[in-house]
Copies of this chain bind each other. A is one copy, B any other.
């Protein structure tokens, strides 16, 4: 066990499942693979883990270089280690998902990489095992959204309950009852009602809310079911 130098070393990749919320739909930022094998299929943003770099730092470096964003919410998803998963070489993959605030990223930088936003309900063909990575990320995100409020990470600072509901509908890919959703979320006492109304979405106008500073990273009291 102490003979570290005798052991096989491996290439370690960090792949990021980047969620963004655009046009009331959850999207993934993907880029097309330009070379064989699997040319033309779509791929997650990834890179190799470097010397003296934690995988968290690595993921942040990848996100910085592809979206320009520094402070991004990151969560571990899983590791993928099948020796044949990458046809070109034996590569271990460490997978994260990331949540990007609407329109805060650098669109030019994104385009530079040939990247494209795909709605999660109409995804293209993926290379290798990236489809499974995405599936597991969705499951993790849904679990997280049941325990914590994900509004902070994906919505602007001020939002109506309708916008928040749309976000949750996008995450769980199903319609939610407006009245019940409203009562459920407000019962957590995590929101602050503002004296401003959004009159764009309806004639009556809906009040904007803000997440209370004190409950930034708080859990719901119980596991919410959506």
Bits for A198-226, please: 1 = Cβ < 8 Å to B, else 0: 00000000000000000000000001000
3 shortest A-B CB distances, which residue pairs? A9-B9, A55-B81, A7-B48
CB pair A49 B2 closer than 8 Å: no
Mark the stretch among A88-96, A102-110, A171-179 that contacts chain B: A88-96
For A10, A47, A51, A90, the residue with the greatest tally of chain B CB atoms inside 10 Å of its CB is A10
**Closest chain B residue to A13 by CB distance?**
B7
Give the contacts of A149-197 with B (CB-CB under 8 A).
Answer: none
Q: Give the Cβ gap from A146 to chain B, nearest Cβ, in Å.
A: 9
Q: Does A54 contact B (CB under 8 A)?
A: yes
**Quick one: copies of this chain in the complex?**
2
Count contacts on A: residues with CB < 8 A to the other chain: 34
CB pair A83 B53 closer than 8 Å: yes
The docked-state distance in angstroms from the alpha carbon of A83 to that of B52 is: 5
Residues of B within 8 A of A79 (CB): 55, 76, 79, 94
Residues of B within 8 A of A76 (CB): 78-79
Residues of B within 8 A of A10 (CB): 9-12, 49
Residues of A within 8 A of B (CB): 1-2, 4, 7-12, 35, 46-56, 76, 78-79, 81-83, 88-92, 94, 223
CB pair B4 A92 closer than 8 Å: no
Partner of A9, one of B11, B35, B54: B11
CB pair B8 A48 closer than 8 Å: yes
**Closest chain B residue to A47 by CB distance?**
B1
| Given A12-B10, A81-B54, A81-B55: A4 touches B49 (CB 8 Å cut-off) | no
Residues of B within 8 A of A12 (CB): 9-10, 12, 92
CB pair B50 A8 closer than 8 Å: yes
Q: Give the Cβ gap from A1 to chain B, nearest Cβ, in Å.
A: 8
Residues of B within 8 A of A90 (CB): 51-52
Residues of B within 8 A of A50 (CB): 7-8
The docked-state distance in angstroms from the alpha carbon of A46 to that of B94 is: 19
Residues of B within 8 A of A78 (CB): 76
